[in-house]
Every structure is written in structure tokens, then in C-alpha cells.
Amino acid sequence: MILIRCPYCGEERPEIEFEYAGQAHVMRPEDPSALSDEEWAAYLFIRENPRGAHYERWRHTHGCGRFFNAVRDTISDKFLVTYKAGTPKPNLQELMDKANDAV
């Protein structure tokens, strides 16, 4: 079980308190009817699925109930950082350097 730090509660809590909610920073197109079928399908179905750092959403369902974002390494499952929804993407290179320094 992984430990997750909720940026709202400010506490590290076990995974069973949380719900995974897919890739983060996926923006709904402003004018869907202007999109081609391919563009709409890409918005609906195509996800990054990276081997490495992944920007993703979590919800602290059994805590504050709020959605937040995280960067997690999909090879080790370790969280690099969690941050509040609505804040910009953190710099990935800095995070990776920091994680590597810690090792």
C-alpha cells in the first residue's frame, strides 16, 4: 500500500483513504462541436500512460473529500510531489533531480 500526502490535510495517509482519478491536466475542449472526430476521440480516450513520471489526479475520498494532483513514478509507484488542484504543473526535471539526490 502506498502512502499519499494530501496537500489540503497536510498529512501522509494510506492509499485506502484515496481514490485514483486518472491523468491530470486534461482540459475539456472549449468548443467540442468545432473539433474533428479524431480530436474529440483523443480528448476522450488517449492518455499518456508513461513509464516514469505521471501527472495524475487523486481524491481524498475518506478524508477532506477534495481532488488534488500528484506526480508519481509509475515504475516505483513513489510519489514525487502532491499539489493542490488549479496550481500549475511542477517542473519535472527538478523533481526527478531531487528524488535522485535523495537516493
Partner 1 sequence: MRYSALSLLSNALSGHQKWPSQWRDVEPKPAYDVIIVGGGGHGLGAAYYLAKKFGIKNVAVVEKGWIGGGNTGRNTTIIRSNYLYDESARLYDHAVDLWDGLSQELNYNVMFSKRGVMMLAHTVHDVQSFQRHIHANRLNGVDNTWLTAQQAKDFCPPLDISPSARYPVLGAALQQRAGTARHDSVAWGYARAASKLGVDIIQNCAVMGIRRGANGAIEGVETERGFIASKKVGVSAAGSTSLVMNMAGLNFPLESYPLQALVSEPVKPVFPCVVMSNTVHAYISQSDKGELVIGAGTDQYISYSQRGALHILEHTLAAICEIFPIFKRMRMLRSWGGVVDVTPDRSCILGKTPVPGLYVNCGWGTGGFKATPGAAHLLAYTIAKDEPHPINAPFTLERFTTGRLIDEAAAAAVAH
Query: Which residues of this protein are in contact with partner 1, per CB under 8 A?
Result: 1-2, 15-16, 19-20, 37-38, 41-42, 44-47, 49, 51, 54, 56, 72, 74-77
Nearest distance from residue 45's CB to partner 1, in Å?
4
Q: Grid coordinates in use for 4?
A: 499519499
Nearest distance from residue 82's CB to partner 1, in Å?
13
Of 49 and 93, CB closest to partner 1: 49
Q: How many CA atoms lie within 13 A of 28 on its CB side?
A: 3
| Residues near 91 by beta carbon (within 8 Å), at least 6 away in sequence | none
Of 16 and 34, CB closest to partner 1: 16
Nearest distance from residue 17's CB to partner 1, in Å?
11
Nearest distance from residue 71's CB to partner 1, in Å?
12
Of 74 and 85, CB closest to partner 1: 74
Q: Detail the DSSP E strand segments found in 1-103.
A: 3-6, 11-14, 19-23, 53-59, 67-73, 79-84
- Contact assessment for residue 74 and residue 50, using Cβ atoms and an 8 Å cutoff: yes
